[in-house]
Chains A and B, each alone.
Chain A
Amino acid sequence: MSEIVKITNVEGRAVPIRGNDIDTDRIIPARYLKEVTFARMGEYPFFDERFDASGNLKPHPLNDPKYKGASLLFVNKNFGCGSSREHAPQALYRWGINAIVGESFAAIFAGNCTIMGVPTVTVSPGDIEKLMRAVENDPRTTFSLDIQAKTISFGEHKIGVDLPDTYRSALTSGSWDSTAMLRANLSDVKKTATKLPYMNKFAG
């Protein structure tokens, strides 16, 4: 993962998951956090809403064949609240989601998505309804999310989206995978540390 991957555009079909305050326990039940790697997380998003106790399919957008192959996810308010588990965005990403458009996102969830290179962009309540209706009416609709221009387009429509400038910069410059950027300043980090009294055990 040493090459720089700039994320400027996400194109594809979409899947809507309606509802406010969808927490990360719902996105991925805790029992799947017992796995040592993220490798199989793509099998589990919304597991308990998609399968009953016997493993039979329940009605859910992620089970609906018409949304198969979607790469954008449309959501409502405060999506991803609760637990900081990165397993939640990992599960969505490994299922096939490359960008999430919503009314708002919980802070830790949006940070986790960004550091994985998955843009989370916000739109007004009216615009999310427009996007959700467009995909529900015609699941074959292709959407194009332009991170640099902060727009999402479909057919003749173009809607403005928002995301923090820092997130936009991290994504479009390819420094969303932040380790190398942070590690480059290790000597400054040590200087900052030296100035903190507790790092010197409050020596007199």
Chain B
Amino acid sequence: MSGRTLYEKIWDSHSVGVLPTGQTQLFIGLHLIHEITTAPAFDMLREKGMDVAFPERTFATVDHIVPTDVRSRPFLDREAEELTQALEKNVKQFGVEFFGLDSASQGIVHVIGPQLGLTQPGMTLACGDSHTSTHGAFGTLAFGIGTSQVRDVLATQTLAMEKLKVRRINIDGELGAGVYAKDVILNIIRRLGVAGGKGFAYEYGGSVIDSMNMEERMTVCNMSIEGGALVGYVNPDTTTFEYLKGRPYAPGGAAFDRAVAYWKSIASDAQTKYDDVVNFVGKDIEPTVTWGINPGQAVGITEKLPKPDECSDPAGATKAYEHMGLQPGAPILGTPIDVAFIGSCTNGRLADLRAAAKIAKGRKVRSGIRALVVPGSAEVKKLAEKEGLHEIFTEAGFEWREAGCSMCLAMNPDKLHGKEVSASSSNRNFIGRQGSPQGRTLLMSPAMVAAAALSGKVVDVRDYQ
């Protein structure tokens, strides 16, 4: 008999039943909310006269719109203040635990869930944010939802869902020096396409994933949605259990041992048959940079930019070149930048800041380059400062900020201006994403961003090791 995948096991244990529409009613074990996508959901609850069904299973924070420099209230941005107040009112009225601006646990929702031990293997997890796939790093079935679905989770702790197929993605061998988790996921998206994961959950495995720490696995799972996959996950193992041990919301004492036994049981069975299998070789992956307007338009640092007719969507590539002002056939190496951004739910964790600091140490940001380091959470900031990373960055000329989403999506004062080019450790290079309709984004690993900040242009981080 063929075994079951982690996806199928979690799906089965969380299925409440089949709905009249043919959809499955799926129980949501953990619901994370933030200020942006929730206000209308709470309004809908009020309109329907409903309460929150499982208030103890929803946790809230503020991340998207919070300024990362001056945080005194009221915020200078009136809309940001209103939206924050709306969340503060809603969590109070409906009895939801809230990690607000004054909490030591505030931060990007996908950084604090794992950090607090809220995110655990074998759970379903939903959040009104597409990068919820991040939590899949723990062997969690985690996915982004819209506001009306947030309403459904609040009102019922369930969602009406369709089952996905599972694609196993093996990354075998090992990564070379200067090659990071970000490069792995950019290569997966480049090869399988930005819509290639539609209808699939991605299960990441192989020796490269096995040897990654939890923060690196989170980077990989985070960008599953950029490859079109709603869900991306890694089977839980000793690395996972060690990470969770002792975290505030993780089980403790004897309960932890019982939890580990359960978590082991939900991993995909050895003899499982997958709907699809794709293989990558670690040593083939180079430091990778995007050149276009979606995360699949990427090249290795030593490659030349493709001609539009070599791309899967020539018209899309032509539009990308028009926006980016880059030339087909030119190298990506040496492309001048104006701004360097290290942070986001993709790469704003301690391991990311360490990797960037290693490059920045004892060097200086190139004159004229605006360089920001934005920790993913207040806790990440605290731990980084304990190690002195903030001093390395500020001495090199980087700005050291408070926790938040910052320049990943420009809903706060951190934005690109005009046609600025940004070297960014975030997840999206969409037109206008970083706040300027003409702005241009080059996605890369945090170490590559640090190296670009020092040289004022795209460089190969391997020359800085």
Contact = CB atoms under 8 A, between A and B. Distances in A.
B430 A23 contact: yes
A108 B86 contact: no
Given A19-B316, A201-B251, A173 B432 contact: no
Given A86-B146, A179-B156, A197-B262, A34 B80 contact: yes
Nearest to A1: B47
A178 interface: yes
A192 B430 contact: no
B100 to A, nearest CB: 17
B76 interface: no
Contact of A183 (B50, B65, B159, B432): B50
Interface in B230-266: 230, 251, 254-256, 258-259, 262
Given A175-B20, A179-B48, A179-B156, A84 B146 contact: yes
Nearest to B197: A107
A183 B430 CA distance: 38
Contact of A202 (B15, B86, B226, B251): B251
A166 B21 contact: yes
Nearest to B320: A21
Contacts of B16: 185, 188-189, 192
B40 interface: yes
Given A115-B149, A193-B27, A196-B29, A186 B162 contact: no
Interface in A155-204: 164-166, 169-170, 173, 175, 177-179, 181-183, 185-186, 188-189, 192-193, 195-199, 201-204
Given A107-B198, A115-B149, A188 B17 contact: yes
A78 B195 contact: yes
Contact of A21 (B123, B146, B294): B294
A20 B21 contact: no
A19 B315 contact: yes
B147 A86 contact: yes
Contacts of A36: 39-40, 82-83, 86
Interface in B125-162: 128-130, 144-149, 151-152, 155-160, 162
Contacts of A35: 79, 83
Contacts of A57: none
Interface residues of A, number: 65
Contacts of A19: 315-316, 319
B145 A107 contact: no
Contacts of A198: 29, 120, 122-123, 251, 259, 262
A108 B126 CA distance: 12
Contacts of A81: 194-195, 228, 294
A192 B198 contact: no
Contacts of B431: 25-26, 48
Given A78-B228, A86-B37, A196 B27 contact: yes
Contacts of A37: 39-40, 43
Nearest to A175: B21
B25 A29 contact: no
Given A30-B409, A188-B17, A165 B316 contact: no
A77 interface: yes
A181 B156 CA distance: 10
Contacts of A17: none
A192 B11 CA distance: 12
A91 to B, nearest CB: 13
A90 to B, nearest CB: 8
Interface string A46-64: 0010000100000000000
B129 A84 contact: yes
B53 interface: yes
Contact of A82 (B14, B48, B54, B130): B130
Interface in A72-124: 77-78, 81-87, 89, 104, 106-108, 111-112, 115-116
Contacts of B270: none
B25 A182 contact: yes
Contacts of A195: 13
A39 B53 CA distance: 27
A26 B432 contact: yes
B410 A170 contact: no
A108 B130 contact: yes
Contact of B20 (A23, A85, A173): A173
Interface string A1-43: 1100000000000000001110101100111011111100000
A177 B22 CA distance: 15
B410 A192 contact: no
3 smallest A-B Cβ distances: which pairs? A86-B146, A112-B146, A34-B79
Interface of A: 1-2, 19-21, 23, 25-26, 29-31, 33-38, 48, 53, 77-78, 81-87, 89, 104, 106-108, 111-112, 115-116, 164-166, 169-170, 173, 175, 177-179, 181-183, 185-186, 188-189, 192-193, 195-199, 201-204
22 contacts: A1-B48, A23-B428, A30-B411, A31-B411, A34-B80, A36-B40, A37-B43, A82-B225, A82-B430, A84-B146, A86-B37, A112-B147, A166-B21, A166-B162, A170-B21, A173-B20, A179-B48, A182-B25, A182-B160, A196-B29, A198-B251, A202-B255
